C-alpha cells in the first residue's frame, strides 16, 4: 500500500479525565513546525534547533498567550512510532487544560487524527506488520494477564515471524522449482517429488500448529459465551457474583429472584467469559418470570459453555431432571456444578443417564468460594489445554488471521497432493497461492477495505 497521508495529525494519546499529565501526539511532515508555533522552549532555542528524542521544558501557547507549561520531545522521521516526524507535548492532566492545548495544536496547523491513525501510519510506513498492529490494539484492550502476555509477544513479532518463516520457506521452494524450468541449460539439479513433498510438508506442519492455537486464542481474547443455568435456588446468582468478584446479582432464598439475564465480560483465569446469569428453569404462571425463563432457553442454544448448577444439599429431584432435559440438546461444553457442597448431606446423586452429557462434574460452594480454583483450571483445560505457551506468543487471536491460515493450509495440501500426479511445476502454482494468502495475512499484500476495518476499532490517539 502506498503512503497517501499528507496532513499533519494530532490527538490526545492519554485517557480522558483528570491526571498528573496528558500527552498530545502530533505526526506528519509539519509536526515540528506545528509544535514550534505553540511551544516556546525555556532554553531559548527554536523547536527546529532542539536535539532529537530529548525532552525540553517550555511554555505552551495559544494565540500568543501562555496557557500551560510542559515538555516537548521531537522524533524526526523515520525514527519514530509512525515513521513520520512526531512531536509529543506533555502538559498538566486537567480535562480543560488538555482540551485547550489540543486546540492550540490545531490552531497551529494540525488536523484531528482518526481512530487508530497513528498506528495505521506506522503500518503503511513499514514500521509495523498488520499482526503487530492488531497486537497494539489488543494491548490497549487487555482485560487479563493472559491477553497482555500474548498481545505483547505478538507486538514484538512472535506471530509475524512465524508467518514470515513459512512464507520464506514456500518462496524458496517455488524459486527452486521455477529456476530449473526457466534455466534448463544451467546445472541446477532436479527437485524430486519426494524432496518437494518433504519440504512442503514441513511448512504445512508449522502452519497447522499455528492454526491450532486459534481455539485458545479466541477463548482468551474473543471470549466464550457462557451461561449459568439450573433450577431456582440452585445458586446461579451466587456463582455469578463469585466469578465477577462483586454482588452484581441479587441473591435471596426466594425462588425466582432472578427474572432477567444478567451479562458481563469476566476473565476466569486465562479464559474470558461472556457470562450470563439466567432465570431458574421452571414452570411458572408469573408473567415476568416466564419471560425470563424464555430468555434463558434462548441463551442455552447459543452458549459455548454451560455451568449447570445443582443444589447438592438436597436429593436430585424433578426440577433438576427438567433442567437436564432442557440442556440435553444444547451444543456447548457442559460442566455440572454440585453446589452447596459445604451443606451436602450425601443424598444428592446425579443419575447416570444425565451425568453422561457433562464434560466435567465438580463440587463447589458458590457462597463460600469453595471450588472456584478447580472450576478455573477445568475451563482452562477444556478451552486452552497445552496448545499454547503464553511466554513465547505466536498465538492466533483474530478470526481474519485464522481464516487466512486455513486457506493457506488448504493450498499447501493441494500442492502436496498434486506433486505425484502432475509434477512439481504445477504443484508449485498452489504454493504461490499459499504465499499470496500469507502475504495478505500479515499485510504485505492486503486490500484497503481490510485495513479500514481493522483500524476502525482503534481508539483516537493510538
Q: For the chain, what is the mean pLDDT?
A: 85
Nearest to 163 by CA among 383, 425, 462, 444: 444
Length of the chain: 462
User: Rounded to the nearest 5 degrees, what angle is found at the Cα of 71, between the Cα atoms of 67 and 75?
Assistant: 125
Mean pLDDT, to the nearest integer, of 182-205?
Answer: 75
Please give the backbone phi and psi of residue 75, each rounded to the nearest 5 degrees, phi first. Answer: -115, 100
Query: Which DSSP string corresponds to 77-126?
Result: TTSSSSSS-EEEEEEEE-HHHHHHHHHHHHHTT-EEPPBTHHHHHHHHTT
Given this model, what pLDDT does residue 204 score? 96
pLDDT digits over 377-428, tens only? Answer: 999 999 988 656 655 668 999 998 999 999 999 999 999 998 877 777 788 8
* CATH code reported for the domain at 9-129: 3.30.1360.120
Given this model, what pLDDT does residue 185 score? 46
| 151 band by pLDDT with thresholds 50, 70 and 90 | very high
Q: Cite the residue boundaries of each domain of the chain with CATH code 3.40.50.300.
A: 225-383
- The alpha-helical segments, DSSP class H, found in 89-235 are 95-107, 117-124, 130-141, 145-155, 158-182, 193-211, 214-221
Give 214's DSSP letter.
H
User: Mapping DSSP to helix (H, G, I), strand (E, B) and coil, where does residue 276 land?
Assistant: strand
Q: Cite the residue boundaries of each domain of the chain with CATH code 1.20.120.430.
A: 134-213+395-443
Given this model, what pLDDT does residue 281 score? 52
Given this model, what pLDDT does residue 279 score? 61
406 with 390: CB under 8 angstroms? no
Given this model, what pLDDT does residue 294 score? 57
pLDDT digits over 312-331, tens only? Answer: 999 999 989 988 998 888 88
| 285 band by pLDDT with thresholds 50, 70 and 90 | very low
Cα(412)–Cα(188) distance, rounded to whole angstroms? Answer: 24
Q: Which CATH number is correct for 134-213+395-443, 3.60.130.10, 1.20.120.430, 2.30.40.10, 1.25.40.20? A: 1.20.120.430
User: Mapping DSSP to helix (H, G, I), strand (E, B) and coil, where does residue 40 land?
Assistant: strand
pLDDT digits over 44-93, tens only? Answer: 999 999 999 999 999 999 988 999 999 999 999 999 999 999 999 999 99
Mean pLDDT, to the nearest integer, of 243-250?
Answer: 62
Percent share of the chain, pLDDT over 70: 82
- Maximum Cα–Cα distance for the chain, whole Å? 89
Neighbours of 73 (CB within 10 A): 18
All residues at 6 or more sequence positions from 70 whose CB lies less than 8 Å from its CB, including other chains: 21, 39, 57, 58, 60, 89, 90, 91, 92, 101
| 459 band by pLDDT with thresholds 50, 70 and 90 | confident
Output the nine-digit C-alpha cell for 72.
Answer: 516537548
H or E element in which residue 374 lies: helix 372-383
Given this model, what pLDDT does residue 433 score? 92
Given this model, what pLDDT does residue 248 score? 46
| 2 band by pLDDT with thresholds 50, 70 and 90 | very low
Query: Which DSSP string corresponds to 245-288?
Result: TS--S---SSTT---S-EEEEEEETTEEEEEEE---------HH
Mean pLDDT, to the nearest integer, of 100-122?
Answer: 94
CATH homologous superfamily, domain 225-383: P-loop containing nucleotide triphosphate hydrolases (3.40.50.300)
Q: Cite the residue boundaries of each domain of the chain with CATH code 3.30.1360.120.
A: 9-129
Given this model, what pLDDT does residue 188 score? 46
pLDDT digits over 432-449, tens only? Answer: 999 999 988 877 665 666
pTM for the complete prediction? 0.76
Cα(6)–Cα(107) distance, rounded to whole angstroms? Answer: 17
Given this model, what pLDDT does residue 249 score? 43
Mean pLDDT, to the nearest integer, of 355-371?
Answer: 92
95 with 39: CB under 8 angstroms? no
Mean pLDDT, to the nearest integer, of 37-41?
Answer: 96
All residues at 6 or more sequence positions from 167 whose CB lies less than 8 Å from its CB, including other chains: 435, 438, 439
Mean pLDDT, to the nearest integer, of 174-195?
Answer: 65
257 with 246: CB under 8 angstroms? no
339 with 311: CB under 8 angstroms? yes
Output the nine-digit C-alpha cell for 131.
Answer: 499482526
Cα(282)–Cα(161) distance, rounded to whole angstroms? Answer: 54
131 with 154: CB under 8 angstroms? yes
Amino acid at each position: 500500500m502506498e503512503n497517501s497521508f499528507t496532513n499533519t495529525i494530532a490527538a490526545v494519546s492519554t485517557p480522558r479525565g483528570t491526571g498528573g499529565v496528558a500527552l498530545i501526539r502530533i505526526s506528519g511532515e509539519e509536526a515540528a513546525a506545528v509544535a514550534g508555533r505553540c511551544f516556546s522552549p525555556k532554553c531559548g532555542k527554536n523547536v527546529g534547533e532542539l536535539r532529537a528524542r530529548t525532552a525540553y521544558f517550555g511554555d505552551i501557547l495559544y494565540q500568543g498567550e501562555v496557557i500551560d507549561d510542559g515538555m516537548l520531545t521531537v522524533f524526526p522521521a523515520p525514527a519514530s512510532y509512525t515513521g513520520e516526524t512526531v512531536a509529543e507535548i506533555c502538559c498538566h492532566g486537567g480535562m480543560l487544560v488538555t482540551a485547550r492545548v489540543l486546540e492550540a495544536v490545531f490552531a497551529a496547523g494540525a488536523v484531528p487524527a482518526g481512530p487508530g491513525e497513528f498506528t495505521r501510519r506506522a503500518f503503511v510506513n513499514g514500521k509495523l506488520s498488520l499482526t503487530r498492529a492488531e497486537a497494539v490494539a489488543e494491548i490497549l484492550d487487555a482485560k487479563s494477564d493472559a491477553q497482555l502476555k500474548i498481545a505483547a509477544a505478538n507486538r514484538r513479532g512472535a506471530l509475524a515471524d512465524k508467518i514470515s518463516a513459512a512464507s520464506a520457506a514456500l518462496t524458496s521452494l517455488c524459486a527452486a522449482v521455477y529456476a530449473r524450468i526457466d534455466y534448463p541449460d544451467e546445472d541446477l539439479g532436479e527437485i524430486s517429488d519426494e524432496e518437494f513433498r518433504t519440504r512442503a510438508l514441513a511448512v504445512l506442519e508449522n502452519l497447522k500448529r499455528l492454526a491450532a492455537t486459534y481455539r485458545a486464542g479466541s477463548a482468551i481474547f474473543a471470549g466464550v459465551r457462557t451461561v449459568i443455568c439450573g433450577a431456582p435456588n440452585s445458586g446461579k446468582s451466587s456463582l455469578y457474583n463469585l466469578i465477577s468478584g462483586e454482588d452484581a446479582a441479587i441473591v435471596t432464598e426466594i425462588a425466582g429472584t432472578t427474572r432477567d439475564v444478567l451479562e458481563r465480560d469476566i476473565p476466569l483465569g486465562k479464559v474470558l467469559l461472556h457470562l450470563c446469569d439466567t432465570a431458574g428453569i421452571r414452570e411458572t404462571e408469573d408473567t415476568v418470570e416466564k419471560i425470563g425463563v424464555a430468555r434463558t432457553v434462548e441463551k442455552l442454544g447459543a452458549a459455548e459453555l454451560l455451568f449447570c448448577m445443582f443444589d447438592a444439599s438436597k436429593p436430585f429431584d424433578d426440577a433438576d431432571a427438567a433442567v437436564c432435559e432442557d440442556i440435553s440438546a444444547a451444543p456447548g461444553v457442559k460442566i455440572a456444578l454440585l453446589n452447596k457442597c459445604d451443606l451436602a448431606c450425601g443424598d444428592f446423586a446425579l443419575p447416570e443417564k444425565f451425568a453422561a452429557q457433562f464434560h466435567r462434574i465438580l463440587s463447589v460452594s458458590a457462597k463460600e468460594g469453595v471450588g472456584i480454583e478447580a472450576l478455573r483450571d477445568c475451563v482452562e483445560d477444556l478451552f486452552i489445554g497445552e496448545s499454547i505457551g503464553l511466554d513465547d506468543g505466536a498465538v492466533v487471536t483474530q478470526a481474519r488471521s485464522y481464516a487466512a491460515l486455513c486457506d493457506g493450509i488448504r493450498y499447501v495440501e493441494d500442492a502436496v497432493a498434486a506433486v505425484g500426479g502432475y509434477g512439481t511445476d504445477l504443484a508449485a502454482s498452489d504454493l504461490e497461492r499459499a504465499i499470496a494468502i500469507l502475504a495478505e495475512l500479515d499485510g504485505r499484500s492486503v486490500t484497503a477495505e481490510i485495513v479500514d476495518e481493522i483500524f476502525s476499532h482503534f481508539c483516537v490517539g493510538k
